[in-house]
């Protein structure tokens, strides 16, 4: 099909959070992610692609797909990438209610702001078999293009849910599910016997875990620097800290 | 001092690698990094700042500093940040020859391309007390503004050196220093007794460790996914993988 001016305007509006919320849709870009998306359960609304991509990927397409053949110039207008890559998929957002997983590990992100960090955390959760990430309402939008692109497809497998910390952790406390977080005054994570289930809380890039959320954490851990008695202003990026914590939980299990 | 048009042009040229190499200088931005830089051994060439920053930070300045009072508009022109933050320092690049550290751990980066990954790796090396990172000549420029900013100051403490892998690893092989890297067919890192010294190699974001470098690695490790027998297209971001590997070496030591 040919892309109308209106349709183009609709799709470029998805670059902004406002547009994504109004339309309850988002974009997925590039050959690799498009292929993975089309082979997943993701609810694809429409596909915009260069003619060469469409010709080469007929096997991924089906008669229900609304497909637009676009020019390089239209692609550049719609794309969020500095180097647009042949195809943009518009998909429907998933907005459903999730329950707190009672078995296994899940994450809670408290006001993570950087889209790259958010995407990287979703990607590593996938690697470590963590199927759910709950987030405070002020955490960056999952459907931000940079988040989606930096998950490298993990957003297709990991559930992400925005919810207030109080109600979420209340459920955990009622069922005696541990709520864990890293703090400067926590216990050395390598010397602790870690539980096989619970919630791991990660905090904001510059402020760490907020006081409100910290009050709901009942197990304080620490990633020790090396040497362990070193003092200084050094810190770890939040995605890096999440990876080390998840790796240690999985190593012990 | 007042910033001349020529000076402004010189500083904006540092946004490009060509300008940085010609001038052998680079920029450091923002209040926090500026403070840390001015308290370090970093060779500061000049400082451009808003009058309010200069007034508030007299204690960090000394008579040798060449200081320019600039306007918001000039700051925006020079800055690499989407939200410029009051001060830009121009400093001299360190270009010296380093020897392979024979004690303790060091990293070798094989063609890392993303500035954010590079900066994050320097930051985590600092956390884990790794004092030196050698890089293949095609690795992203240390003095790229995004690299410097994402180190959060760790570039002031970790030595970064660009060198061909052959000569670097030849020294390691001669002195029986282990050269380690992660590969899909490596041994589970959690089940291996790891050495206290050696080189840890990290590879390119999409291609991994190059064949040339892989041939020089003599100990192959693997970060297992969870569950460990899971098959799939999932992968870890290179900075995340570096963090998990470094954490495991430090946990065991």
Q: Is B186 exposed, middle or buried (0-12, 13-18, 19+ CB in 10 A)?
A: middle
Residues forming a β-bridge with B203: B110
Q: How far apart are CA B218 and CA B11, in angstroms?
A: 44
Closest C-alpha among A211, A203, A213 to residue A237? A203
CB B93 within 8 A of CB B26: yes
Kindly state the average pLDDT of the residues B184-199.
95
pLDDT tens readout for residues B110-127: 999 999 999 999 999 999
Could you give the count of Cα atoms lying within 13 Å of B177 in the half-sphere of its Cβ? 20
Pairing mode, strands B105-110 and B179-188: unpaired
**Helix or strand run (H / E) with residue B10:** helix B5-12
Confidence band of A253 (pLDDT split at 50, 70, 90): confident
**Long-range Cβ contacts of B227-231 (<8 Å, 24+ apart):** B227/A129, B228/B188, B230/A129
The whole-angstrom distance between B194's CA and the closest CA on chain A is: 15
**CB atoms closer than 10 angstroms to residue A186:** 17
Residue A126, pLDDT score: 95
Residue B233, pLDDT score: 55
Average pLDDT, chain A: 95
Residue B232, pLDDT score: 62
Q: Is the pLDDT of residue B134 over 70?
A: yes
Q: How far apart are CA B76 and CA A208, in angstroms?
A: 29
What is the ipTM, given to two decimal places?
0.92
Cross-chain residue pair B244–A243, CB shorter than 8 Å: yes
DSSP state letters, B172-197 = HHHTT--EEEEEEEEEEGGGS---SS
pLDDT tens readout for residues A7-43: 999 999 999 999 999 999 999 999 999 999 999 999 9
Residues forming a β-bridge with B133: B107, B160
Strands (DSSP E) found in A94-217: 105-110, 132-135, 159-162, 179-188, 198-203
Peptide bond into A227 cis (omega under 30): yes
Kindly state the average pLDDT of the residues A151-172.
96
Residue B234, pLDDT score: 67
Kindly state whether A238 is in contact with chain B, defined as any CB-CB distance less than 8 angstroms: no
- Which residues in chain A have Cβ-Cβ distances shorter than 8 Å to B128? 225-226
Residue A184, pLDDT score: 87
More confident residue, A9 or A253: A9
Closest residue of chain B to A231, computed from CA coordinates: B127
Cross-chain residue pair B124–A36, CB shorter than 8 Å: no
Show the tokens assigned to B24.
């052998």
The whole-angstrom distance between B4's CA and the closest CA on chain A is: 33
Show the tokens assigned to A213.
């959320």
Cross-chain residue pair A127–B243, CB shorter than 8 Å: no
Per cent of chain A over pLDDT 70 is 98
The whole-angstrom distance between A247's CA and the closest CA on chain B is: 7
- Which residues in chain B have Cβ-Cβ distances shorter than 8 Å to A244? 243-244, 247
Confidence band of B228 (pLDDT split at 50, 70, 90): confident
**Helix or strand run (H / E) with residue B6:** helix B5-12
Show the tokens assigned to A90.
């518009």
Residue A78, pLDDT score: 96
Closest C-alpha among B24, B44, B20, B21 to residue B34? B44
Q: What is the residue whose two structure tokens read 């994570």?
A: A189
Residues 53 through 112 of chain A touching chain B, CB cutoff 8 Å: none
By Cβ distance, the residue of A120, A124, A129 closest to B230 is: A129
Q: Is the pLDDT of residue B95 over 80?
A: yes
Residue A234, pLDDT score: 67
Q: Is the pLDDT of residue A163 over 90?
A: yes
How far out from the chain centre does Cα A195 lie?
24
pTM equals 0.94
Cross-chain residue pair B129–A225, CB shorter than 8 Å: yes
Confidence band of A86 (pLDDT split at 50, 70, 90): very high
Q: What is the residue whose two structure tokens read 């939008």?
A: A141
How far out from the chain centre does Cα A130 lie?
12
């Amino acid at each position: 099909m040919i892309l109308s001016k209106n349709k183009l305007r609709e799709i470029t509006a998805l670059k902004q959070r406002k547009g994504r919320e109004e339309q309850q849709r988002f974009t997925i870009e590039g050959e690799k992610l498009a292929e993975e998306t089309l082979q997943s359960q993701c609810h694809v609304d429409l596909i915009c692609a260069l003619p060469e991509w469409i010709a080469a990927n007929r096997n991924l397409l089906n008669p229900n797909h609304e497909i637009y053949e676009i020019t390089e110039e239209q692609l550049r207008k719609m794309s969020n990438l500095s180097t647009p890559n042949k195809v943009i998929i518009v998909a429907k957002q998933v907005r459903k209610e999730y329950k707190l997983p009672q078995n296994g590990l899940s994450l809670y992100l408290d006001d993570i702001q950087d889209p790259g960090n958010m995407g990287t955390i979703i990607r590593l959760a996938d690697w470590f078999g963590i199927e759910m990430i709950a987030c405070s309402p002020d955490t960056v939008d999952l459907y931000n293009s940079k988040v989606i692109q930096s998950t490298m497809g993990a957003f297709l497998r990991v559930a992400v849910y925005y919810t207030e910390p109080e109600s979420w952790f209340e459920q955990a406390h009622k069922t005696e599910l541990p709520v864990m977080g890293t703090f400067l005054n926590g216990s050395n994570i390598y010397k602790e016997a870690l539980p096989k289930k619970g919630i791991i809380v990660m905090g904001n890039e510059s402020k760490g875990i907020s006081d409100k959320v910290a009050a709901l954490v009942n197990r304080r851990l620490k990633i020790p620097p090396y040497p362990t008695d070193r003092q200084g202003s050094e810190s770890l990026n939040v995605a890096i800290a999440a990876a080390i914590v998840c790796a240690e939980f999985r190593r012990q299990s």
